[in-house]
Structure 1
Amino acid sequence: MTTIKNPVIPGMAPDPSIICIDKRYYIATSTFHWTPSIQLFESADLANWHLIGSALNNEEVNLCGTNTPAGIWAPHLSYDSETKRIWLVYSHMVNMAGREFNADTYAIWATDMRGPWSEPIYFTSLGFDPALFHDDDGNHYLTILEWETREGYQAPGHIVIAEIDLSSGELISPWHRVTKGFTTRGCVEAPQIYKHCGTYYLLLASGGTGYGHGVEIGRSSSIFGPYEPHPSGEPILTSSPRHLFSLGDPDAGHFEMVNPDSPMQKAGHGSLVHTHTDEWYMAHLMSRPLEGKLLNPLGRETSLQKMYWTEDNWLRMADGSNLAKMSFMGLAGVPIEKEQLTDLYDSFEKKQYLPQFMTPYRQQNQSWVSTQKRKGYLRIYGGNSLFSQMNPAIMATRATSFIYEVETMLEFQPRHYSQTAGLGLYYDSNNWLYTHLTYLEEKNCPYLTIMQAKLGQRIEYVNTRILVPGGHVILKIKYDHGAAAIFYRLSAQEQWQSLGQELAVEYLSDEGVNGIPGEIGGFTGLFSFIGAVDAFQHQSYADFAYYKVTNL
C-alpha cells in the first residue's frame, strides 16, 4: 500500500460527500455563492481527484444577491442500488439574517455522475445539511438538521429523520428527533446514516465550523433511534482531540481549540465510503492556516483518513487515535496514478474553457463570457462593479497553494472611467484585489492601476498609474503566504516590471472577511480571477489571450 498525502483536493472543497460506484470514487463538495454549483470529483485510487463537472449548471438556482456565506450548502451523494440511480441532495441557503437560516432542500438524480441530472425535487425547508439513506428493504430516509430559532431552546437544533417518497419529495413518516443526549461537542449538523452488520450508524459533524470541528458517531438497532453515542464520549475524528463541551452553542470559531502541533486544523464534516477492496475511508474537510496565524486563505479542503471497525463494531481511525493526519494508507492492491499537477493553463483555443472556472453570484453563459467571439481568446463583457452581488463578470479558479503565480494577457479599449478589465484575487464582493486597465480622460488613453476591497472598504491606489496606449498588457500576480506582488509588461519581449508595492492580502481568508471576533466569516477560500467591469453601458469587453496558474 502507498502513503497518500492530504489534502487530496486542495483549495475550496468543503463538506465532501463520497461514494463508490463500479470501482470509481466520487466526491461532491459545497460551492456556496459560486457557480456552476456543486463540484464533482472522480478518482480511481483515492489519491488523484479530477474535476469532472458540476451538478447544478443549467440555472437550476439563482444565487444573485447571495450574502457570504450563504448559497449551496453540503451536497450529499447516495446510490440506490434498486433503481441504479445516483441521488444528490443539497440545501440552498437563501437567508441568514436574524439567525433565521432559511434553507430550501432539494434532490436531483442521475444514472451517471456526469449527468444529465434531473430537475430538482423539493423536499423541505426545515433546516440544512440533508442526506439520503436507502435501506435494504427499499425504504428511503432523509436526515437533516432542524434549525432552532427560539430563545431558550437547544441551539443550533436537533437532528431529525423521516421516511420520504423520493419521487414526490413528500414525507411518509413524521420527523423523529434522534440526538438527545448524543453529542458532547454540540453544534451538530451534517447527519448521515450508514448500516453495518444490521446496525444503523449516525455520523455527525459537531463542535462548530471552526477549530473545534469534529466527527461524532452513534448507533441504534432502529433507524429512528434512540442512538447510543460512541463509548469514548469524544469525536472519532478531529484535529483538536482535547475535550470540548459546547452543547447549546449555535456555532463558533472556537479559536481556543487550535492544535499547535498539527498543520491540519478544523477536521470534521465526514462522509464514509466502503471501498471495492473491502476497506473503509472517511472523507472530511480541513484547513491549513498561515504559519503563526488563525487565517485560512485556502479555505476548507478535502482530506481522507483510513478507518476500521473494532471487534465490538465501533468505527475508529486506522491508527487507533481520533487525530486526523496529513497522510493515510491507500487502497490495498490499487496502484497510484502519476501525481496530478494542480497548475492550470487555458489558451482558449477550444470551444469550452477549463471546468475549473467559477463565477460568484451569477451563471456563466454566452451573453457575457465566450470563446466564440474571437478565436484563441476568452471575451468577457463588462458587468457590475466587483462590489456587486448581482452580475459581476468574473471568471475565477480556486487557489490551491500558499505560493503561486497567476498570469494573463489582455486587450481592452475602455472609453469611460467606469470600464475596467484585468486580473485579481477574490474572496467575495467585499474582499478582493484588482489590477486593471481603465480610462484616463486627461490623456484619452488606457492606464493600468490597482483597486482593493477590504471588509467592504474601497481602496484606490491613485499614485500607481501606468499608461498603456495600445490597451495591450500582460499581467501577473505572485501570491506568497498572504502577500501579493503585482507585475506587468507591455509586450512579451519586455522584462517584468513591478506595479506598486507588495500588498498584504492575508485577510482574503475564511476568518478575515467579516471581522466579528470569535466567528468564521466565510467558508470558501481564496480565488484568482480575470474579469471586466462596465458600469457605463454594459457594452465594453476585454479579450484574454490565456490564463495560467503556476503553483510554486
Structure 2
Amino acid sequence: MANIKNPIIPGMAPDPSIIRVDKDYYIATSTFHWNPAVQIFHSTDLANWKLISYALTKGEVNLRGTNTPAGIWAPHLSYDKQSGKFWLAYSHMQNMAGREFNSDSFAMWSDNIQGPWSDPIYLTSIGFDPAVFHDENGKHYVSILEWETRTGYQAPGHIVIAEIDLEKGGIIGNWHRVTTGFTTRGCAEAPQVYKHNGYYYLMIASGGTGYAHGIEMGRSKNIFGPYEANPSGEPIITSSPHHLFSLGDPDSGHFEMYNPKSVMQKAGHGSLVHTTTNEWYIAHLMARPLPNTKLNPLGRETSLQKMTWTKDGWLQMIDGSNLAKMEVPGLRNSDATIQSDQLNNIDDDFNNSRYDLRFMTPYREQKSSWVNTTEHPGNLRIYGGNSFFSQVNPAIMATRATSLNYTAQTSVSFKPDHYSETAGLGLYYDSNNWIYARLCQSDKEDGTVLRLLQAKLGDRIDYIFDEVRVPNNFAEIKINYNLGTTQIMYKISENDDWKQLGDQLDVSYLSDEGVNGEPGEVGGFTAMFNFIGSVDAHQHDSFADFDYYKVINK
C-alpha cells in the first residue's frame, strides 16, 4: 500500500466534490471566470487523477464581465442509483458587490459523467453552494447556504435544506433552517448530506476559505434536524487546529490562523467517499503558500484525507487528530505509485485536431472562429481579441500553474501591422493582474519587437527600455517561474542561445491574497495560470501561430 501524496490535484482545483460509481472515482471542482466551466477529474486508485471533461460546454453560462472571484462556484457531484443518472449542482455567482452575493443555483443530469449534460434546471437564488442528496426512499433534497443580508444577524447565514423535484425543478414545501455551524469558527457554507447507519450526516465548510478553514459535521435522525454537533466542538479536518471564536464573521482570510508547522494551509470544504474496499476518504481543498509568505499563487488545490468511523458513530481522521496531512495511507492492496509534479507537465505540438484539454479561457468561450488547429495544421492559431485588461473577449489560452518551480515555453510567429496588435506568452490571474512577453510593433512603427507588458492591481506597466528587435517576426519565449519570481527568456532564431529579457521580476502578487478582488474580499481564490494569447484592438483580423506549448514542472 503506497501513501497518497497531496495535493492529488495541484493548481486551481478548489471545492472538490468526490463520488464513486462502481470502481471509478470522480471529482468536480470550481472554475470561477474560466471556460469551459466545472472541471471533472477521474481516478481508479484515488492517488492519480486526470482531467477528462468539463460540464458546462454549451454556452449555459455567460461569464463575460465576471469580477474576481465570482463566476461558477462549488459544483457538487452525486449519483442517483435508482435512475442511474449523474447529477451536478452548481452556483453562478453574478454579483458580490455590497456583500449582496447574488447567485443563481442550478442542477444538471447526464447518463455519462463525460456528458452530454442536460440543460440546467433552476433550483434557487437563496444563496450558494448547493448539494443534491438522493435518499433511499426515492426522495431528493438540496442543501445550501442561505445568504444573510440583514444588519445584526449572524453572517453568512443558515444552512437550509428542502425537498426538491428533480424532474420539473423547484422546491417542494419550505426551506428548513437547520444550523449556522457546529463549532465557533462560524462562516458555515458548502453543506452536504450523507446517510450512514440510520443517521443523516451534515458536512459543512467553516471558518472562511482562508487560514481558519475547516470541515465540520453534525448528525440527525431526521434530514431536517435537529442536528447534534460533533462532540469535539472543533472541525474534523483543518490545517489550524487551535481554537477560534469567529461567529458572525461572514468570511475572512484569518491570517492569524496560519500554521507555521504545516506545509498544507486552508484545509476545508470537503466531500466524503466510500471506497470499494470499505474505506472512507474526504477530498478537500488546501493551499501551499510561497515560503515565508501567506501568498498562494497556485490557489486552492485538492487533497485527500483518510477517515474512519468511531464506535460512537462519528467520522474522524484515521490517526485520531484533525490536522490535515500532506501524505495519507492509500487504498488497501493498491499498487498505485506516488504522484510527481511531472505528471502535470504539458507538451502540445498542436499536430492533432484538438488541442490539450487542459487549456481554459477567461470570461469568453473557446470557439474555432478565434482559436483552432485547422487553419495552419501543426500550429494553434489564435486571432487577436481585446486587451488582456478586458473581461469580455480576451484571446487567451491558459493552463493551470501546478508547481511553484517550473518553466512555460512556446514559439510564436506573428507579424503585427499596428501597435495595438500583439502575441506571446505570459502569466495570468485575472484581467487586472498578469505579465505578458509579447511580439508587437515598435513604437516607431518600423518593425517587430519583443517587449514585456504587465498588469498589477489594474495598473499598466510597459517595460519600454527592455526591447529586442525581432526581424523575422518569430520568437521562442520561455518563462522560468520559481517561488514567486520570474525570468523571461527568448530566442529570435531556432539556432540561437537563450537570452534574458529584462530583469528578474517579483510576481508573487499573482496569488489569491495578492490581487485586488471585489471590495470586502481578501483578494481572490482562483489561482495563477500560464497562457499564450493575442491582442488585436485594431481590426480584429490579425492572428498568431503557436508551434508548440510546453510546461515543465521541476
TM-score scaled by length of structure 1: 0.99
Which structure 2 segments of 5+ residues have no match? none
Matched, 1:456 2:458: yes
Structure 1, 285-294 or 174-183: larger mean CA deviation:
174-183
Q: Which residue does 2:444 correspond to in 1?
A: 442
Percentage of identical aligned residues: 65
AA in 1 matched with 2:362: P
Q: Which of 397, 405, 408 is 1:406 aligned to?
A: 408
Structure 1, 167-176 or 422-431: larger mean CA deviation:
167-176
* Aligned mates of 1:182, 1:264 — CA distance in 2: 23
Q: Which of 412, 415, 418 is 2:417 aligned to?
A: 415
Q: Which residue does 1:546 correspond to in 2?
A: 548
Per the TM alignment, residue 83 of structure 1 is displaced from its structure 2 partner at its CA by 0.2
CA RMSD of aligned residues (A): 1.2
Aligned partners of 1:406 and 1:549 also within 8 Å: yes
Aligned partners of 1:86 and 1:113 also within 8 Å: yes
* Aligned mates of 1:442, 1:71 — CA distance in 2: 41
* Aligned mates of 1:527, 1:79 — CA distance in 2: 31
* Aligned mates of 2:302, 2:180 — CA distance in 1: 29
AA in 2 matched with 1:435: A
Q: Which residue does 1:130 correspond to in 2?
A: 130
Q: Which residue does 2:50 correspond to in 1?
A: 50
Deviations 1:363-405 (A, max 9, x none): 0001110001101000000000000000000000000011100
Q: Which of 504, 520, 523 is 1:521 aligned to?
A: 523
Per the TM alignment, residue 518 of structure 1 is displaced from its structure 2 partner at its CA by 9.1
Q: Which residue does 1:532 correspond to in 2?
A: 534
Q: Which residue does 1:177 correspond to in 2?
A: 177
Matched, 1:65 2:65: yes
Q: Which residue does 1:259 correspond to in 2?
A: 259
Q: Which residue does 2:11 correspond to in 1?
A: 11
Matched, 1:231 2:227: no
Matched, 1:367 2:374: no
Q: Which residue does 2:351 correspond to in 1?
A: 349
Q: Which residue does 2:76 correspond to in 1?
A: 76
Aligned partners of 2:282 and 2:304 also within 8 Å: yes
Aligned partners of 1:144 and 1:190 also within 8 Å: yes
Per the TM alignment, residue 145 of structure 1 is displaced from its structure 2 partner at its CA by 0.2
Aligned partners of 1:209 and 1:520 also within 8 Å: no
Q: Which residue does 1:387 correspond to in 2?
A: 389
Which structure 1 segments of 5+ residues have no match? none
AA in 2 matched with 1:377: N
Aligned partners of 2:408 and 2:530 also within 8 Å: yes
Aligned partners of 1:252 and 1:518 also within 8 Å: no
* Aligned mates of 2:523, 2:201 — CA distance in 1: 32
Per the TM alignment, residue 516 of structure 1 is displaced from its structure 2 partner at its CA by 9.0
Equivalent residues in 2 for 1:170-209 (5 A)?
170-180=170-180, 182-209=182-209
Provide the secondary structure at the position in 1 that maps to 2:248: coil
Per the TM alignment, residue 2 of structure 1 is displaced from its structure 2 partner at its CA by 1.3
Per the TM alignment, residue 337 of structure 1 is displaced from its structure 2 partner at its CA by 5.0
Provide the secondary structure at the position in 1 that maps to 2:98: helix
Per the TM alignment, residue 520 of structure 1 is displaced from its structure 2 partner at its CA by 2.6
* Aligned mates of 2:247, 2:66 — CA distance in 1: 29
Aligned partners of 1:511 and 1:521 also within 8 Å: yes
Q: Which residue does 2:87 correspond to in 1?
A: 87
Per the TM alignment, residue 150 of structure 1 is displaced from its structure 2 partner at its CA by 1.2
Provide the secondary structure at the position in 1 that maps to 2:465: coil
* Aligned mates of 1:181, 1:41 — CA distance in 2: 30
AA in 2 matched with 1:436: R
Per the TM alignment, residue 58 of structure 1 is displaced from its structure 2 partner at its CA by 1.3
Residues 441 and 506 (structure 1), Cα distance of their counterparts in 2 relative to 1, 3 Å cut: closer
AA in 2 matched with 1:533: V
Q: Which residue does 1:376 correspond to in 2?
A: 378
Q: Which residue does 1:334 correspond to in 2?
A: 334
Per the TM alignment, residue 355 of structure 1 is displaced from its structure 2 partner at its CA by 0.5
Q: Which residue does 1:149 correspond to in 2?
A: 149
Deviations 1:213-272 (A, max 9, x none): 000000000000010000000000000000011111100000000001000000000100
* Aligned mates of 1:515, 1:380 — CA distance in 2: 28
Aligned partners of 2:477 and 2:489 also within 8 Å: yes
Q: Which residue does 2:481 correspond to in 1?
A: 479
Deviations 1:24-50 (A, max 9, x none): 100000000001000000001011000
Q: Which of 463, 488, 493 is 1:491 aligned to?
A: 493
TM-score scaled by length of structure 2: 0.98
Residues 517 and 100 (structure 1), Cα distance of their counterparts in 2 relative to 1, 3 Å cut: closer
